[in-house]
Amino acid sequence: MTDVNNPNIVNEGGEVWPEGDLPSQGFGARETLMPGTDEFTLPANIAQLWGTVDIKDGNPRSKTHGQTVRRNQLKFDKNNPLVIASGPHAGQTMTASFSSNPRPRGKADDEKTPWVSDLAYLLDIGIGDHSRPATPDGLKAAINKYAGRTIRIEHGLSAHCRPDKVRYIIVATPPPAGSPVGTPSSEKTIADPTGVKGCGDDSQKRADGKGKKGRWYTNDFKDPETGDFMDSIECECGAVLRGFPSVERFAPPLGTPTK
């Protein structure tokens, strides 16, 4: 039916529902960036990506040890991601965030262990700028100068079996009605209909003793038979976890002399 006052406008015809389950949201499954070392282009305007994060100072040699301190944070989100510049994965993106909060780069209880922030590694190793600014504003200004340039990053996969989220499980689905005899069942991933949540617990170790319960890292996604990486794994509690691309370390710019 048309609107007599606006004859060129017609009423919407209503929702058109597909048969069976609704398709995946977001135009289908996205390709997972597999572990490797790639050259990424920094966003053209880094200055707008800065924020702050409040973190408890864990450095026993710091004057603010044990206190909550405000650190600078540089966040590359889905609207301003890191973009692979060249190679077979050119155009693929990765999100990440780095802070100026120093972390132990060795045993935390060793007084000789250096405490260095991720942003310091980004500037010194990833960009190759060895100016080592001493103030938070100086570090921000130094990194901002390199907007739009490329940096090399070694990246992997990680996953967290969240105790506050309903887990996803794999279930078998029978073949469609009318399928030839002998057609095998297929599998799909669904939210656990019983409402059981993930098993993550940072205070406990995984059953294999290789990390915190519910935390999974790059080597966990490697197929022991083929050596290839998988984009998802099954947690010890039965949850299906999709790998999330994550930064493992910054690599020096190509052409940098080795020490």
Q: What digits encode the pLDDT tens for the residues 65-74?
A: 999 999 999 9
Q: Which residues make Cβ contacts (< 8 Å) with residue 96, sequence separation at least 6?
A: 75, 76, 82, 246, 247
Q: Where does the pLDDT of residue 189 fall: very low under 50, low under 70, confident under 90, or very high at 90 and above?
A: confident
Which of 38, 39, 40, 42 shows the shortest CA–CA distance to 148? 42
What distances in angstroms separate CA 38 from CA 42, 77, 100, 147, 152, one per listed residue?
13, 18, 23, 17, 6
Q: Mean pLDDT, the chain, as a whole number?
A: 88
pLDDT greater than 70 at residue 22: no
Region of poorest pLDDT, from 22-31, 80-89, 161-170, 241-250: 22-31
Structure tokens at 256: 């940098």
Sign of dihedral through CA atoms 19, 22, 26, 28? negative
When comparing pLDDT for 258 and 158, which is higher?
A: 158
- What pTM did the predictor assign? 0.79
Per-residue pLDDT, 8: 65
Which of 208, 98, 216, 202 shows the shortest CA–CA distance to 157? 216
Do residues 71 and 99 lie in contact, with contact meaning Cβ atoms separated by under 8 Å? yes
Do residues 147 and 169 lie in contact, with contact meaning Cβ atoms separated by under 8 Å? no
Going by the DSSP 8-state scheme, the letter that residue 197 receives in this structure is: B
When comparing pLDDT for 231 and 176, which is higher?
A: 231
How many residues are there in the chain? 259
Per-residue pLDDT, 192: 92
SS3 label, residue 66: coil
Average pLDDT on 80-89 reads 94
Per-residue pLDDT, 102: 93
Structure tokens at 42: 């920094």
Structure tokens at 188: 């799909």
Per-residue pLDDT, 19: 72
Average pLDDT on 18-22 reads 66
Average pLDDT on 138-155 reads 97
Q: Where does the pLDDT of residue 28 fall: very low under 50, low under 70, confident under 90, or very high at 90 and above?
A: very low
Q: Where does the pLDDT of residue 173 fall: very low under 50, low under 70, confident under 90, or very high at 90 and above?
A: confident
Share of the chain above pLDDT 90, in %: 73
Q: Where does the pLDDT of residue 26 fall: very low under 50, low under 70, confident under 90, or very high at 90 and above?
A: very low
Q: Where are the alpha helices (DSSP H) in the chain?
A: 118-121, 136-144
Q: Where does the pLDDT of residue 27 fall: very low under 50, low under 70, confident under 90, or very high at 90 and above?
A: very low
Average pLDDT on 30-52 reads 93
pLDDT greater than 50 at residue 2: yes
Do residues 36 and 50 lie in contact, with contact meaning Cβ atoms separated by under 8 Å? no
Structure tokens at 117: 């922030």
Per-residue pLDDT, 74: 98
